Structure 1
Amino acid sequence: MNDTDAELYEQVHLGEKQALEKIYDRYEKLLFSLSYKITGQKELAEEVVQEVFIKLWTKKGIYSASKGKFSSWLMTMTRNTSIDQLRKRKEIPSDFEYGEIPSENPSVENLVEWKEEGSMLRQAISELGAEQQKMVDLFYFKGLSQQHIADEFDIPLGTVKGRIRLALKHLKKMVPQTNVKGGK
């Protein structure tokens, strides 16, 4: 039986270890590849993948089908966990780029989806003003905090928050199927 991701997710939340194992088998390589791309460290990428699955098992990560695909949610959780780990170690890579394909062997479906979403998002971001592009890049793709951005550019924190909020508002209009979320 080929369970859907949503069915497996529900089984995990009911305490079914086999469902977690199936999700792990299905996504471990892709999540490791993404985390390795962000962290540049094999051991740290392995820790991130382990932490993501612990969050999934302990219900710290809550998925809602109404907000998008399970695989996209899982990759977002992996991205955020990778950046969190780098922040803890104060090792945010300066060359981290969005929309790049992971180096491992993801499925053809994931490659196509990744490329299409990355292409649409890059196009939408390129249509933003220069200041909004910079804020989105630093906050979402380089992992800097809004306070750090404000300090680095010697501008008020409220200005940074406003630019990011406006950028996200524009991105949501330009790319409605992408799960663009605001930060705090």
Structure 2
Amino acid sequence: MKFTYLVYKQVNGTRQLAAATQEEWDAILKENRRLPLERRRLFVKDCFEDGGELDCMYIEATAAEYREWNSKNTVSQKKRKIGMSYTHQSLDTGVPDTDVETLHECVPSEFNLEGIVADQVLIEELKRALRAWKPWAEELMDLYMAGAKRSCTNGLCKKYQLTDRAVQKRKAAFEKFVLDFLKK
């Protein structure tokens, strides 16, 4: 593994990035430990493979550049760690020690993953629109989806201290809103 350190130096009267030696790098790190956080020199790390060898570069950055890099790097590291717990498999591969030649045989032919995902996204968008429209509308949608369209009236009357007629009006307004949303 090869390390490169780019630090700001005064070159011909201008401040610019220049390569630092290992000794200069060690001195910068030692000095940084003694400084308060707001006065420390900040560095971003960039690693890449070059000719089969891993190269790491430490590049001095401004506070704004460092915050942006750190934010993106933190997200990237979290995604990488989470991704390590999953494996990707092709449906064309076989299952060892079984009679299954491909995973296609295990998935029912009428299974439509794209449709299921599209439906789930649509429901989430509808719930978001309902929350923005009326505070009680998302709860009513959950009741409808649970099959309690008719039986929920009494519960809603008690919960919101409404009359049967008021709940019926809310249900009608809810149904109209959902139909209008789905027409879009």
Q: Give the structure with the higher percent strand.
A: 2
TM-score by length of 2: 0.32
TM-score by length of 1: 0.32
Q: Give the structure with the higher percent helix.
A: 1
